[in-house]
Structure 1
């Protein structure tokens, strides 16, 4: 673990924290490809690097989204009714996503991640233009939606904000509360998914030093310590700035990330 690598992880955390507070995402869409590039530099086998990137990303999201959620709760930006019915499905989906990731050969995971990110980018761009709003669905539909969101999010090592925010917007939740609610959901997805990656990673023959299952602890430490500090900046920006243009720019960025991962 060199000084240069530590600096890169700290900078990564700064960027992730701002985006978490601003857009309601956990930051995994940035953390996963960054760790996939950085982790082999500390001796992690490239064959296992994607699982470690996914698991470590989810672990960072617990702290990042948790910090963001606390700030949003402080500002009253959480839709309690929606979160209450999404959470059971999200818990189930989070563990399911980790299990699916374990069953897929490591060389295919970056491409699957690329496809998911590309579809999320299209969804994020499309959600900007959606003007029709519908009444909040019943508890069963909301819970099943949570299962789908949690599974996809955990499989991609993300907090699911790119799915949760458009879902809540579609059913009449204003943007500020959709972002805040997404932070709460993202934290729960990350906890469930992380447990799955720890469980499955504990069964491999030789774990790298300083790892817990598929969680690489030094990367978790350095990314999280700065991301938790910068989430409040994103939350303040979310209460002041229109996010439409930012979502457009971020959607384009995600498309570029997905293309890079597809050809990884």
Structure 2
């Protein structure tokens, strides 16, 4: 498919993702694959686009003092280590296995959006004060999330947000802190793929511009009449449909 058409598709997806507070990598990887792009090219491209979206969101959240840097720090450090390792292992894992893992993640993400929507912790402290526990959780999960970010092209926000909510964070603060973490895991995974040589510079250039512009447009449409919870539930159904399509193609 022509790269211009792909860029246009990415633009409209980026508008939607930015309105939902998502990076978009959950859709970018299977989308690129269905458009005939090799998985080894689709993954780093998705990571780059995810990083661009997360960067824009993280800057805004940081300025509004919504990011908990103490909680984010251990996640960031180990995700930066785990992402390039995951990127390295992509050449040893078959496309079929990558698609099976991706379909499982899509099912999980779709369930989270359909069942939980925007619901988060209520009347719970947004900080868990046990620094040792906080550091251990961040170090271990940061590495795991970073590894799968590099392996599958996913930023990891779909896992980070529910983890932070379970630890007592209010949804908005969890999303803000997650965006900051995903920024690093996405770019670290992308740079890890630079060493593999599986890159399409033309595709990345056009889609990166489209994702950036779409993200800016979406941020200005945040006050849409449609509730974000409704959009998330619709998006959850889309993720399930995508997962079913992937599994159907594998069996």
CA RMSD, aligned part only?
2.6
Structure 1 stretches of 5 or more lacking a match? 41-48, 202-212
SS, match of residue 98 in structure 2: helix
- In structure 2, what is the equivalent of residue 214 of structure 1? 198
SS, match of residue 169 in structure 2: coil
SS, match of residue 35 in structure 2: helix
> How has the CA–CA distance of structure 1 residues 79 and 14 changed in structure 2, closer, same or farther, with 3 Å as cutoff?
farther
State TM-score, norm by structure 2: 0.83
Could you list the per-position Cα deviations for residues 202-247 of structure 1 after superposition, in whole angstroms to 9, with x for gaps in the alignment? xxxxxxxxxxx22222221122112212324444566888543332
Distance 1:167 1:80 in 2: 16
Distance 1:126 1:66 in 2: 28
CA contact (8 A) 2:71 2:134 kept: no
Counting matched residue pairs gives: 241
Distance 2:13 2:67 in 1: 23
> How has the CA–CA distance of structure 1 residues 214 and 259 changed in structure 2, closer, same or farther, with 3 Å as cutoff?
same
Distance 1:225 1:80 in 2: 29
- In structure 2, what is the equivalent of residue 8 of structure 1? 6
- Given the alignment of the two structures, is residue 183 of structure 1 paired with residue 179 of structure 2, yes or no? yes
State TM-score, norm by structure 1: 0.79
- In structure 2, what is the equivalent of residue 174 of structure 1? 170
After superposition, residues 189-208 of structure 1 pair within 5 angstroms as 189-199=185-195, 201=196
Distance 2:222 2:166 in 1: 19
- In structure 2, what is the equivalent of residue 225 of structure 1? 209
Q: 2:108 aligned to 101, 119, 122, which one?
A: 119
Structure 2 stretches of 5 or more lacking a match? none
In the TM superposition, residue 13 of structure 1 has moved relative to its aligned partner by 2.9
